[in-house]
Chain A
Amino acid sequence: MSAPLLHNYDLDEDCYRARLVAACSGVALDLRNVDMFPGAEHRSDAYLRLNPLGTLPILQDEMLVLTQPEAILRRIAALDPERRLMPEDSIIAARIDDWLAFWAQHLAPAKAAREIALMATPGDLAALSARTARMLRVMEDHMTHQTIRGLGFFAGPELTLADLALFPAFALSRDHGLDHDAFPALRLWARRVRLTPGFITMPGIPDYH
C-alpha cells in the first residue's frame, strides 16, 4: 500500500495542518507541491478536474479524493494504528468533534485575514482580524479553565486532533497583525503543542530550538 498523496502548498495553513497531523501521528505522506501563488496551479484544468472547488489541500488515498480540511485531518489521524490523536473515549471524542467544528466554522476568518495580509486577496482585513480576536478569546477562556482543572489541552489531559487543528490559527495570527498579548493561556498551550513528538513548523511559525 502506497502512502496517501497530499497536494500541498507550503504557505497554506490547511496544508500545514495536514502535514502536522501526519508528522505527529507517524503517518507517511507523499507530497506533491502545487504552485498556488503566484502560479494558481490549483485552478488549472487538471486540478479543477480533481477538485472543482479549486482549493488545497487535496488528499488522494486509495479510492478517496478528499477536499475538505476536516475530513483530510480525520482521515490522516485514522491511518495511525495507535490512534494517538483520536482516543476511543467517547467523551473526549465528543469534545474533539466540537472543537473541530469550531475550527471549521468559526476560525474561517483567521484564514481569510491571513490570505488578505500575505497574498493580497480582496476582503475586509480589519473586520476579519477583529472577528479572529473574538474567537481566540473563546479559546483563551477555555484553556484558562482547562488549566485550572489541571488539563493541558483542548479536549482533555492529552494532545488530540483538536489541538493540532486549532494551533495554526493562533500561531499564525501575527501574519495578519494580531498579537498574542491578550492570550497567556494560549501562549502556554502553544508551547505544550510544540513539544509533541514529531511536531513540525511552517514559514511564519518560528523553529525555536
Chain B
Amino acid sequence: MTGTQWVPLALARDITPGTSAGTVAEGAEIVVWRDTDGRAHVWEDRCPHRGMKMSFGFVRGDHIACLYHGWEFDEGGTCRKIPAHPELEVPGSICVARYGCTETGAMIWAALPLGAEAGELPALPDAVPVRSITIEAGLISVANMLLNEENAVIEGALATLDSAHGPLAIGVQPIRPGAVTLHIATRPGASTETLLAICDWAETLRRTAEKEIAA
C-alpha cells in the first residue's frame, strides 16, 4: 500500500478506557491508547526522552506516562510533567508525534503515514466486534483469500463479505512484509454461537494462509 490512507489498528472494545496497546502498521511502531474519558489516541510509540515505547507505560486521566522516567504527555502529545524535575516548567517543544485517528465500525483507525492528511473516513455501519487475529502471511495472499468469499469487496483497508455465519466487516492492518492483522466485526445481534463460529472461520483462514507460506 502506498500513499495516505486510513488503517484499522484495533477493535475499539479491546482498548478499554485508561489503557494503552502497542501495535505496528506498515513497519511503524504505534501506541493506541484511550483516556479515562473514553477518547482514543494514536501516537508514535516512542518517548522523546530515551526512546522507550510509550505502550509500556500507563494512562493517567487524559495523560499518558512513560514507564522509564514517568514523563507525562497530554492529549496533544506535549510533555507536561518530568517527575525528576518537579519544579520545572516543561518547555512546550517536547512532544510525541500524533496520528490522525477516528473510531467507526467497531474499530480504531489511524491516518498513515505519520503527518498524513487523509481527509475524513466515511462512517461505517454499526457493527459488533468479534476478534482481532494476526496472520503470518503476506498482505496479498490474505487479501486474495478474503476475495474468494461470497460478495467480497475490498475498499481501502476494509473488506466486506458474506460468510456462512453472516456478513463480516474486516479491517486489514498490514503489520510488515509477511504479517497482517485482521480486525473482524459482524452485524449487531449476532449470538454467542455465531461469534464463536466466526472465530473458527478466522482461525481456519489463518491456518490455511500460513500453510501456503510453509509449503
Contacts and interface: CB of A to CB of B under 8 A. Distances in A.
B131 A188 contact: no
A149 B192 contact: yes
B192 A184 contact: no
Given A181-B22, A182-B134, A184-B132, A145 B14 contact: no
B199 interface: yes
Interface residues of B, number: 23
Contacts of A179: 22
A191 B14 CA distance: 12
B199 A145 contact: yes
Contacts of A148: 130-131, 192, 195-196, 199
B58 A180 contact: no
Interface string B19-58: 1011110000000000000000000000000000000101
B186 to A, nearest CB: 12
Interface string A172-192: 001000011110110110010
Contacts of B175: 181
B56 A184 contact: no
Contact of B21 (A149, A174, A187, A209): A187
Contacts of A180: 21-22
A55 interface: no
A206 interface: yes
Contacts of B24: 181
A201 interface: no
Given A180-B22, A188-B16, A144 B56 contact: no
Contact of B19 (A144, A145, A182, A191): A191
B203 interface: yes
B27 to A, nearest CB: 13
B11 interface: yes
A82 to B, nearest CB: 29
A148 B24 CA distance: 25
A9 B30 CA distance: 35
Contacts of B181: 182
A195 B196 CA distance: 27
B154 interface: no
Contact of A184 (B11, B195, B196, B199): B11
Contacts of A144: 131, 199
B177 to A, nearest CB: 16
Contacts of A209: 58
B10 interface: yes
B213 to A, nearest CB: 14
B184 to A, nearest CB: 11
A118 B101 CA distance: 37
Contacts of B22: 179-181
3 tightest Cβ-Cβ pairs between the two chains A and B = A182-B134, A184-B14, A208-B58
11 contacts: A141-B203, A144-B199, A145-B196, A148-B130, A148-B192, A180-B22, A181-B134, A184-B10, A184-B21, A187-B19, A188-B16
Interface of A: 141, 144-145, 148-150, 174, 179-182, 184-185, 187-188, 191, 206, 208-209
Given A180-B21, A181-B21, A181-B22, 11 more contacts: A144-B131, A145-B196, A148-B130, A179-B22, A182-B134, A182-B181, A184-B132, A185-B14, A185-B131, A187-B21, A188-B16
